[in-house]
Amino acid sequence: MDKNKLQYIDISPLVSSKTAVYPQDTPFSRKVELSFSSGDKLELSSMTTSLHIGAHTDAPNHYKKGLPGIDQRDLSFYLGPCQVIEVKAKRGERINIEHLGNTKISTERVLLKTSSFPNPDQWNEDFNSYSPELVEYLYEKKVILVGIDTPSIDPANSINLESHQVVAKNDMSILEGIVLDNVPPGEYILCALPLRLKDCDASPVRAILLGARQPLGL
């Protein structure tokens, strides 16, 4: 690879018709309108999908009535220094402050590596999520975005979305569905910009991490 080429880690899963979504959500599908194989002069297609697919960021109006859609969110939430923290917890368990051990919170964006949703194409409900107490703790540490390598920062069967509500109260942002399998814990630069979709409750993103700044000591 060219040593002058920008180095990055892609933390976005491949999105296809196989990508797992919540049972009530709309899976990804693509309709080809024009194609070279049909004798057309170009490829042209459309797609239908849940906005909460693959790597995506939730908008405040997804979890709180009267709050803004994704087009109104400041992009600075999704661009800047971040910290990948690896945690170990029982399947289906919410991540608490204790799971962080002695890890110091050193950036405004925190991504939890739980390894509890190992296959983006296979739905499993026993993934890890954030506890409301942890979200509140991170807010007190000046964190503005919480991320996780699972479909949600709340459990799959959560009705009240308690962790989402703490995010809403503190005007934080959320990044879900990222893939951190090959990402060592440490500090990076996150780029996960949402599309400017008017009034929408979420947006898929192409999330990447730019070169590690330094390893995090415990």
Distance, CA of 15 to CA of 115 (rounded, Å): 19
- Determine the pLDDT at residue 197: 98
Under the banding of pLDDT at 50, 70 and 90, the label for residue 3 is: low
Amino acid type, 19? T
Q: With 70 as the cut, is the pLDDT of residue 113 above it?
A: yes
Angle (deg, nearest 10), helices 132-140 and 162-169: 20
| Average pLDDT over every residue of 77-85 | 98
Q: With 90 as the cut, is the pLDDT of residue 84 above it?
A: yes
Residue 62 appears among annotated catalytic residues: yes
- Determine the pLDDT at residue 214: 45
Mean pLDDT of the chain, nearest integer: 95
- Determine the pLDDT at residue 217: 38
Who contacts 46 (Cβ-Cβ below 8 Å, separation ≥6)?
30, 31, 33
Under the banding of pLDDT at 50, 70 and 90, the label for residue 86 is: very high
Q: With 60 as the cut, is the pLDDT of residue 23 above it?
A: yes
**At residue 202, what are phi and psi to the nearest 5 degrees?**
-170, 175
Who contacts 159 (Cβ-Cβ below 8 Å, separation ≥6)?
none
pTM summary value:
0.94
Q: Judge contact between 194 and 73, C-beta under 8 A.
A: yes
**Measured CA angle at 76 (ends 68, 66), to 5 deg:** 10
**Measured CA angle at 70 (ends 64, 73), to 5 deg:** 95
- Determine the pLDDT at residue 216: 41
- Residue 108, token pair as written in the block: 């405004």
Asked which of 2-11, 79-88, 150-159, 193-202 is least confident by mean pLDDT, the reply is 2-11
Q: With 80 as the cut, is the pLDDT of residue 1 above it?
A: no
Between these two residues, 150 and 216, which has the higher pLDDT value? 150
Catalytic residue among 52, 56, 62, 99: 62
